[in-house]
Amino acid sequence: MQDFIDDLKIKEILDRAARPERSRVEEIIAKARELKGISPEETALLLQTEDEELIDMIWATARQIKQAIYGNRLVLFAPLYIANYCSNDCLYCGFRRSNKELTRVALTMEQIASEVRVLEREGHKRLLMLCGEHPSRSSLDYFIEAIETAYGVKTEKGGEIRRINAEIAPLGVPEFKRLKAAKIGTYVLFQETYHHETYQQMHPTGPKADFAWRVTAMHRAQDAGIDDVGIGALFGLHDYKYEVLGLLFHALQLEKDCGVGPHTISIPRLEPAMNAPAAIRPPHPVSDHDFKKLVAILRLSVPYTGIILSTRETPAIRNKVFNLGVSQISAGSRTNPGGYQEDSSEGFRAAQFNLGDTRTPDEVICDITTMGHIPSFCTACYRLGRTGRDFMKLAKPGLIQKFCRTNAILTFKEYLLDYASSSTRMAGEERISRLVEETPNARTRQTISRRLTKMEKGQRDMYV
Ligand code: SF4
């Protein structure tokens, strides 16, 4: 598998799209409303649009698409950093090998289990497990043992982790097969930047310096049978318009070669990190306005790919972009291994980057509920084998919605019964009652009501 990102082609597409005609932009927005996605050339025309009226139309369309495909759901997860040793020297990362001030940690299995207990007691069911890239301190054996450990942790009230997504350095097909056998959900890997020259500057040494090995990782994961993959770019390293097209070309290549595009796209923006020059002074900072714009345009370009927003962003920005197409969010995150157990005033000494949203998961859940979203802890598709192409077959005709909405309500109820503070419970119960009333199909309404009653009587882990 060869590197398929063509810098020149992306640059030409962006140059050709400069100063787009209003009528053409309106046509593309209308096409996007059909929920079939738009091409890189069309995406470039939207990216080059500076007319605020048209940008308002892009935002409105992104909201419509988000509603049509995902409804008000926001799926919650927590990142779990297990080790911060790293043999790379990425200029934007606190874990980089030349950061001598970082407290290096590789959690033991007992420490990992303790972290997971904390997360389960906060109500989390879905983790993203991560570590630095280091041959001995973050080996695949270690990572797989950590996954097994985390799945094995059970706490009171049926607390358990039901899906672990994995973010680990690119592997070969045999190693990806081992990762699949460990029952991961999505394999997540960010290209960081799709611009080759910037990539070389940002990754001066270590195995990560190999752009092609990284950009083809998702193809190898698919070859190994991992059909849910998540791509991402770290916004701020290069021109954001270029990165959006890079993500799109990556998605299209996967669709062409593997029959299914990425399950998710992550859109982290650079945040300050200890002794990481590119994070302290981003080479191409992305303003809040442009960030909103890029989220909305991605929603129009790849409507069926989930968009993940992390706690790098502040609550104010998070609240603004949820409606524009975000479908998954982290909450209560720590980016230092061991950070969930300790009171983290010293945690920054071991952290990958600083956080913009430091609220507890319960505070986030209360806020998003009040704003009209439905917090979801659903893991049903993964557990029922609705992944990859099978997932898309259901998602594209709009069938997945019918499972997702019900499962969001049921898993939210589980959270309210077992983990919520009294104010969150009050807001949540009110929201669930309204959602049940608003359920258009009478049979679905009855099913949800019956299951909610069973949950009140003690039953758990119900999904369709
Ligand atoms: S970004 Fe990843 S690979 Fe690079 S230094 Fe940080 S942990 Fe290591």
Angstrom distance (rounded) from CA 434 to CA 438? 6
- Token code pair at residue 229: 């993959």
> Could you tell which of 97, 167, 208 is best to mutate to test the pocket of ligand 1, judged by most ligand atoms within 8 Å of the CB?
208
Angstrom distance (rounded) from CA 364 to CA 315? 9
pLDDT-based confidence at 1, cuts 50/70/90? confident
8 A C-beta contact, residue 219 and residue 254: yes
Beta bridge mates, 80? 129
- State in Å: Cα 273 to ligand 1 middle: 12
Query: Looking at this protein, which amino acid is placed at residue 274?
Result: M
What is the residue with the minimal CA distance to atom 4 of ligand 1? Answer: 90
Ligand 1 proximity of 268 Cβ (cutoff 6 Å)? no
Q: What is the dihedral of CA 231, 394, 404, 34, to 10 degrees?
A: 80
- Token code pair at residue 226: 């991992």
Ligand 1 proximity of 95 Cβ (cutoff 6 Å)? yes
Closest atom, ligand 1, to C-alpha of 131: 7
Ligand 1 proximity of 91 Cβ (cutoff 6 Å)? no
Ligand 1 proximity of 313 Cβ (cutoff 6 Å)? no
Kindly tell me if the per-residue pLDDT of 89 is higher than 80. yes
If you average pLDDT over residues 149-158, what whole number do you get? 96
Cα dist. 426→369, 417, 433 in Å? 10, 11, 11
Closest atom, ligand 1, to C-alpha of 169: 3
Cα dist. 392→185, 309, 397 in Å? 16, 21, 9
Angstrom distance (rounded) from CA 7 to CA 246? 9
Kindly tell me if the per-residue pLDDT of 382 is higher than 90. no
Angstrom distance (rounded) from CA 420 to CA 412? 10
Each residue of 434-444: b (16+ CB within 10 Å) or e? ebeeebeeeee
Ligand 1 proximity of 96 Cβ (cutoff 6 Å)? yes
Query: What percentage of the chain's residues is helix, strand, coil (to nearest 5)?
Result: 50, 10, 40
8 A C-beta contact, residue 5 and residue 244: no
If you average pLDDT over residues 323-341, what whole number do you get? 94
Q: Which of 270, 132, 255, 250 has the alpha carbon at shortest distance from 195?
A: 250
pLDDT at residue 346 in the model: 61
Backbone angles phi, psi at 253, to 5 degrees: -65, -40
Kindly tell me if the per-residue pLDDT of 397 is higher than 90. no
- Token code pair at residue 222: 């698919």
pLDDT-based confidence at 351, cuts 50/70/90? confident
Angstrom distance (rounded) from CA 271 to CA 136? 28
pLDDT at residue 348 in the model: 63
- State in Å: Cα 67 to ligand 1 middle: 35
Query: Looking at this protein, which amino acid is placed at residue 436?
Result: V
Within its chain, how far is the Cα of 234 from the centroid?
12
pLDDT at residue 385 in the model: 85
Report the mean per-residue pLDDT for the chain: 95
What is the residue with the minimal CA distance to atom 7 of ligand 1? Answer: 132
Lowest-confidence pick of 69-78, 161-170, 295-304, 396-405:
396-405
- State in Å: Cα 440 to ligand 1 middle: 48
Q: Which of 433, 389, 460, 418 has the alpha carbon at shortest distance from 162?
A: 460
- Token code pair at residue 243: 């990165």
- State in Å: Cα 206 to ligand 1 middle: 10
DSSP code for 31 = H
Encode pLDDT of 94-115 as tens digits: 999 999 999 999 999 999 999 9
> Pairing state of beta strands 328-330 and 163-167?
unpaired
- Token code pair at residue 395: 């998602």
Encode pLDDT of 242-274 as tens digits: 999 999 999 999 999 999 999 999 999 999 999
Encode pLDDT of 169-197 as tens digits: 999 999 999 999 999 999 999 999 999 99
What is the residue with the minimal CA distance to atom 5 of ligand 1? Answer: 96
Kindly tell me if the per-residue pLDDT of 39 is higher than 90. yes
- State in Å: Cα 94 to ligand 1 middle: 8
Each residue of 117-138: b (16+ CB within 10 Å) or e? bbbbebbbbbbbbbbbbbeebb
Nearest-Å Rg of the Cα atoms of the chain is 21
Cα dist. 118→1, 36, 50, 423 in Å? 41, 41, 46, 21
DSSP assignment of 249-288, as one string?
Answer: HHHHHHHHHHSS--SEEE--B----TT-HHHHS-SS---H
pLDDT at residue 384 in the model: 87
Angstrom distance (rounded) from CA 330 to CA 309? 7
Q: What is the 3-state secondary structure (H, E, C) of 66-119?
A: HHHHHCCEEEEEEEEEEECCCCCCCCCCCCCCCCCCCCCCECCHHHHHHHHHHH
- State in Å: Cα 90 to ligand 1 middle: 6
pLDDT-based confidence at 394, cuts 50/70/90? confident
Kindly tell me if the per-residue pLDDT of 344 is higher than 60. no
What is the residue with the minimal CA distance to atom 1 of ligand 1? Answer: 93
Lowest-confidence pick of 4-8, 288-292, 343-347:
343-347
Closest atom, ligand 1, to C-alpha of 84: 7
pLDDT at residue 391 in the model: 82
Q: Which of 369, 229, 372 has the alpha carbon at shortest distance from 306?
A: 229
Q: What percent of the chain has pLDDT over 70?
A: 98
Ligand 1 proximity of 93 Cβ (cutoff 6 Å)? yes
If you average pLDDT over residues 227-251, what whole number do you get? 98
- State in Å: Cα 164 to ligand 1 middle: 20
pLDDT at residue 2 in the model: 95
Ligand 1 proximity of 133 Cβ (cutoff 6 Å)? yes
Encode pLDDT of 406-441 as tens digits: 999 999 999 999 999 999 999 999 999 999 999 999
Within its chain, how far is the Cα of 58 from the centroid?
22
Ligand 1 proximity of 94 Cβ (cutoff 6 Å)? no
